[in-house]
Amino acid sequence: MGRFAYLSSSTRQPEPEESDIEISITTPDEIRLGETLNIEVTLRTLHPTIKDRPAGDIKGEVTIIIEGAEEREVVAVGLANANHVFAAKNVLLTGGHAEITATEAGTYTFAPGEIAVRTSDYPLKSVPKTPNPADSKTTAV
């Protein structure tokens, strides 16, 4: 898990505001060429929500930047708050998933990119303040 600096804006707050977000990207240590590489993502805000949110009210996705043996981007979808979130508390989003097929031998690295979040009230977009370092790696043999 890494702590990453983002600039976030929404229809409620159009001027980008800096915030730190904890993101965990989990991948297998090693896979064989041609196998599906599963990418699991969780995200925790380090700034509090402005009001109570029922379970499932906050949904999101994270762009994953893949470098190394292959370079491309994929979007981890399915992030959601599994539990009720109380006002003035941080938000934990779990269940993010993406996958690729390893077509080149070597090391793949995975870094978080843009984040898109939707609540029942408004959408929120977060972009990295600077390019984020890799949070996970996998070797394809």
| Structural domain boundaries in the chain | 2-128
72-115 pLDDT, tens digit per residue, is 999 999 999 999 999 999 999 999 999 999 999 999 999 999 99
Contact (CB, 8 A) for 21 and 128 = no
Q: What is the pLDDT of residue 13?
A: 83
pLDDT at 14 over 90: no
Burial label for 95, CB within 10 Å (0-12, 13-18, 19+), is middle
Maximum alpha-carbon separation in the chain = 48
Q: Tell me the fold of 2-128.
A: Immunoglobulin-like (2.60.40)
26-78 pLDDT, tens digit per residue, is 999 999 999 999 999 999 999 888 899 999 999 999 999 999 999 999 999 99
pTM of the predicted model as reported, rounded to 2 decimal places:
0.93
Give the pLDDT band (50/70/90) at residue 12: confident
